Structure 1
């Protein structure tokens, strides 16, 4: 056999030595990180439910998880989790799509004002259509909702202007939007407030070009106001709980994850300040089978989270080398102690779960 370019490629470029002939718990598709995060860096997170694992790990590992929206000191500690403080960097709940992220930024800077800004729930209390489950039971008045939103937007602006790194986990391509203004909602109206009206809302399934454009615009928006900002994009490995397409939810999941994965790759390859981290591949790759999923085939098992976060630490955190191939490290022990809390928290604010049919 003559000489050819493949002969000179490293092992990680070949399936057998790096995947098939490797213990699935040590498979490392990251290879190398684009940059390192120090303990003084302000690291903000947003996105789908899976993003919460990154936030929890950063806190446990002693990194500067950047939380800009906190409860009043008089109430901190007893309702922080229930009211979704600290789940993400600000109290925005799940941002499942890149369009949601972009519109949140625009709304926070008063560059986009949706026509509809308040719903009522079954109890007659008031709900923020763009954060329908961040306030258990809803707000007592429209004024309370508006004041909370004003504070929230101020926190988002602080996050944008002061963060060092923004970790965004893409979760979905399917969404419901307002027909008049294109405002993207995290949940279909009628699920957790509001009334569904086909004349007011339409279903959208975003394409690769949609997601790519929205990601670029959101990143540009942040960097225009914070030139030092860097970004880590991930794709959630959690399947869709339901689809509006007239096909199997399995097919819709494959479409959605493929679109998000391609868009993230395109955008990450455009700049040294944007990285892609393969949490999706670590959990769903053939090497793992279904080992990292709970029996419902959606929830991620703690050992799957540990694999993902171990590689995140190894390749992106300044002292990550210390946790390489050390499953009994102090951090992993702390992670084990916090697993139930992380599971409960993820269930609490994962709005998509409201669509589940038992």
Structure 2
């Protein structure tokens, strides 16, 4: 073969050299990143349920994981966990779509206020924008509104003072209010409220809409925090259910494709925005579905560890990854049944979307 542009390309540009001929655990689809995370940086997270894994490993490896909304200091860790303190940097629950993120910012800075009332759920009350944040709900609508006000103050403080924001895009499907465009993390009627076609409409966001929402969010964020860096990633977790009328498989491929393209568009040519390929590491051909549990949806700890080893390799200076490597060692010292049981406990995450497929 004569001279041509491919002859000087690195191994990463070739499928055989970078995917087919490397061990599953060593596949690395990253080639460069536009910035590094320092140990002192306040790293905040938000997004779909997969982003909870990122938060957990950042804490375990000694990074300054930023939790602005904390519970009472006298409460035990288990109670704080049950009430979703520390699950994300603030107690906003899962943020599945770009519009939901943009809406959160506008609510925190009082440029948008939803007209949706507090929902009833059985004998309690829930915040329609965080319907599963409070176990067993709030005792009154006033308590729910007070908690929301405190929450939004914490969100505002987080946006103003964080150094790095890791946002995991999860879905393109959502339900919104016909009245004022409020976007909900769950369809009304699933975990509170009552569904009505006259009040709510289904929305499946297009690529251009996701890009516009993320661009607007980043622009607003930089107006109040000019030096903040943003890392976008796409959750590999499939949809629980789809309201498109298509199969869940087709709807999942569409959703992830839209989010992947949007993240690429946002990161190209923008030194302060990076894309990290969590989706590719978990779902790529090299993994052969081995990173998913039997439900083909939950991500095994081995997969999460692969993601985080790669993340730390590229976005940090030298870092102690012992806590991540320990997971690999466990597999060789435990029986399969014991290991799978332990891993199921370790990777348990809060996923509000799961309520769509409960009896």
TM exceeding 0.5: yes
Alpha-carbon distance between aligned partners in 2 of 1:319 and 1:160, rounded to the nearest angstrom: 27
Do the aligned partners of 2:170 and 2:234 also contact (CA within 8 Å) in 1? yes
Q: Answer yes or no: is 1:264 the counterpart of 2:235.
A: no
Q: Secondary structure at the match of 1:79?
A: helix
Gap regions ≥5 residues in structure 2: 331-338
CA drift of 1:117 comes to: 3.3
Q: How far apart are the structure 2 equivalents of 1:273 and 1:342?
A: 32
Give 1:340 shift: 5.1
Q: Matched residues in 2 for 1:262 and 1:107: separation?
A: 27
Write the distance in 2 (CA, Å) between the matches of 1:207 and 1:352: 20
* 1:249 corresponding residue in structure 2: 248
Q: Deviations over 1:226-247 (max 9, x none)?
A: 0010000000000001000111
Match of 2:325 in 1: 332
1:12 deviation in Å? Answer: 0.3
Structure 1 SS opposite 2:80? coil
1:265-284 CA-to-partner distances (Å, cap 9, x unmatched) read 00011410000000000000
- Could you say what secondary structure the match of 2:96 adopts? coil
Residues 1:112 and 1:237: Cα distance change in structure 2 (over 3 Å): same
Q: Deviations over 1:17-65 (max 9, x none)?
A: 0001111110000122221111100000000000001100010001000
Contact residue 299 and residue 347 of structure 2 kept, 8 A: no
Q: Secondary structure at the match of 2:57?
A: helix
Report the counterpart of residue 326 of structure 1 in structure 2.
none
Secondary structure of residue in 1 paired with 2:44: strand
Task: Confirm whether residue 182 of structure 1 aligns to residue 181 of structure 2.
Answer: yes
Q: Please name the residue that 2:356 is paired with.
A: 355
Decide whether aligned partners of structure 1 residues 305 and 330 sit closer, same or farther in structure 2, where only a CA change above 3 A counts.
closer
Contact 1:81 1:87 in 2 (8 A): yes
Residue in 2 that maps onto 1:55? 55
Checking the alignment, whether the CA contact within 8 Å between 1:166 and 1:230 is kept in structure 2 is yes
* Alpha-carbon distance in structure 2 between the residues aligned to 1:270 and 1:142: 46
How high is the TM-score relative to the length of structure 1? 0.94
Show CA shifts across 1:87-125 (max 9, x none).
0000000000000000000001110011113100022x1
Map Cα deviations across residues 273-303 of structure 1 (whole Å, 9 max, x no partner).
Answer: 0000000000001111111000100000110
> Distance between the aligned counterparts of 1:74 and 1:60, measured in 2?
23
- Distance in 2 between the 1:112 and 1:342 partners? 38
Q: Which residue of structure 2 lines up, in the alignment, with residue 21 of structure 1?
A: 21
SS across alignment from 2:326: helix
| Structure 2 contact 305–327 (Cα < 8 Å) conserved | no
Q: Distance in 2 between matches of 1:13 and 1:315?
A: 18
Give the corresponding residue for 1:127: 126
The equivalent of 1:70 in structure 2 is 70
CA displacement 1:126-160 (0-9 Å, x = unmatched): 11000000001110111111111111011001100
Question: CA contact under 8 A between 2:60 and 2:323: conserved in structure 1?
Answer: no
Cα distance per residue 1:166-225 (max 9 Å; x no partner): 000000000000011111000000100000001000000000001001111111111110
Structure 1 residue runs of 4 or more that deviate by more than 6 Å after TM superposition: 334-338
**Mapping for residues 276-355 of structure 1, pairs under 5 Å:** 276-320=275-319, 323=321, 329-333=322-326, 339=343, 341-344=345-348, 346=349, 349-355=350-356
Using the alignment, how far apart are the partners of 2:299 and 2:73 within structure 1? 33
Q: Which residue of 1 aligns with 2:88?
A: 88
Q: For 1:228 and 1:356, how far apart are their aligned partners in 2? A: 41
1:270 & 1:216 partners in 2: Cα distance? 13
Equivalent residue runs for 1:85-164 within 5 Å: 85-123=85-123, 125-164=124-163
- Give the distance between the partners of 1:225 and 1:76, measured in 2 at CA: 34
Tell me the alpha carbon deviations over residues 314-342 of structure 1, each in whole angstroms, 9 at most, x when there is no partner. 1112224x64xxxxx34432796995554
User: The residue matched to 2:347 in structure 1 has which SS?
Assistant: helix
